[in-house]
């Protein structure tokens, strides 16, 4: 029975391990795309950046949902002082905040891509 409890303990702590291993503020755009945006920044580059930001926003939202699920599975006697629950809820808020930032970057790059695409169309 002890081995089952330790497996359950490990499974219960996985969200906390992921919380400690946040890849949070790492680079989102590939370096080559960043360089292209800085140098030429054509419509295709902005569209590619928008897609990357949209995918990252979806990934962050999925992680937030995963943390919320972990919070809902914590029983009161497992976290009597609420430390785990509090840490996970903080992670949910952080993930949602970053997802919102990624959505804003997505919208900005999509707008730039459409503007540049319109400018190219009007020149022809």
Write out residues in the chain with pLDDT < 70, as ranges. 1-26, 119-124
Q: Where are the domains of the chain?
A: 2-123
- Contact 79/90 with Cβ under 8 angstroms? no
Predicted local distance difference test score (pLDDT) of residue 17: 46
pLDDT per residue over 85-115, tens digit each?
999 999 999 999 999 999 999 999 999 999 8
pTM comes to 0.72
- Look at residue 91 in the predicted model and tell me its pLDDT: 94
CA distances to 10, 17, 83, 88, 104 from 78, in Å: 13, 17, 10, 14, 38
- What is residue 47's predicted lDDT score, i.e. its pLDDT? 92
Q: Please give the pLDDT value at position 118.
A: 79
């Amino acid at each position: 029975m002890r081995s089952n409890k330790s497996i359950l303990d490990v499974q219960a702590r996985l969200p906390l391990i992921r919380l400690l291993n946040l890849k949070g503020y790492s680079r989102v755009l590939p370096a080559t795309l960043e360089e292209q945006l800085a140098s030429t920044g054509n419509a295709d580059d902005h569209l590619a950046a928008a897609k990357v930001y949209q995918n990252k926003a979806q990934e962050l939202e999925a992680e937030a949902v995963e943390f919320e699920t972990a919070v809902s599975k914590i029983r009161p006697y497992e976290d009597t002082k609420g430390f785990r629950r509090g840490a996970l809820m903080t992670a949910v808020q952080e993930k949602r905040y970053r997802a919102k930032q990624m959505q804003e970057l997505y919208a900005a790059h999509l707008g730039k891509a459409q503007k540049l695409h319109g400018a190219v169309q009007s020149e022809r």
